[in-house]
Copies of this chain bind each other. A is one copy, B any other.
Amino acid sequence: MKLTTQDIISFKGLTNEDVEKIFSEADKFEKIAKGEKPSELLKGKILGTLFFEPSTRTKLSFKSAIQRLGGSTIGFSRPEVSSVAKGETLADTIRTVEKYCDAIVLRHPQMGSAKLAAEVSKIPILNAGDGAGHHPTQTLLDLYSIRKNFGSIRDLQIGLLGDLKYGRTVHSLAYAASRFENKLYVISPEGLEMPNEIVNDLKNKGREIIESYDLKEVLPKLDVLYVTRIQKERFSDASEYNKVKDSYKINLELLESAKSNMRVLHPLPRIDEIEPEVDSSKYAKYFDQVFNGVVVRMALLSLLM
Which residues of A are at the interface with B, using a C-beta cutoff of 8 A? 32, 35, 37-40, 43-46, 48, 54, 56-57, 60-61, 63-64, 67-68, 70, 72, 74-78, 81-83, 86-88, 91-92, 95-97, 99-102, 268-271, 276, 279, 287-288, 290-291, 293-294
Contact A95/B287 with A43-B38, A83-B56 known, Cβ cut-off 8 Å: yes
Check B56–A82 contact: CB distance below 8 A.
yes
Q: Which residues of B contact A101 (CB under 8 A)?
A: 35, 64
Contact A271/B87 with A60-B74, A67-B74, A294-B99 known, Cβ cut-off 8 Å: yes
Docked complex Cα distance between A70 and B35 (Å): 13
Check B290–A96 contact: CB distance below 8 A.
yes
Docked complex Cα distance between A40 and B38 (Å): 10
Check A44–B35 contact: CB distance below 8 A.
yes
Check A35–B45 contact: CB distance below 8 A.
yes
Check B271–A88 contact: CB distance below 8 A.
yes
Check A99–B287 contact: CB distance below 8 A.
yes
Docked complex Cα distance between A32 and B96 (Å): 18
Check B44–A92 contact: CB distance below 8 A.
no
Contact A61/B271 with A44-B38, A81-B54 known, Cβ cut-off 8 Å: no
Shortest Cβ distance from residue A26 to the other chain B in the assembled complex, whole angstroms: 14
Check A269–B87 contact: CB distance below 8 A.
yes
Q: Which residues of B contact A271 (CB under 8 A)?
A: 86-88
Q: Which residues of B contact A76 (CB under 8 A)?
A: 56, 60
Docked complex Cα distance between A267 and B69 (Å): 34
Docked complex Cα distance between A241 and B61 (Å): 48
- 8 A–B contacts from the bound complex (CB under 8 Å): A35-B102, A39-B44, A46-B68, A63-B100, A78-B81, A92-B269, A95-B287, A99-B291
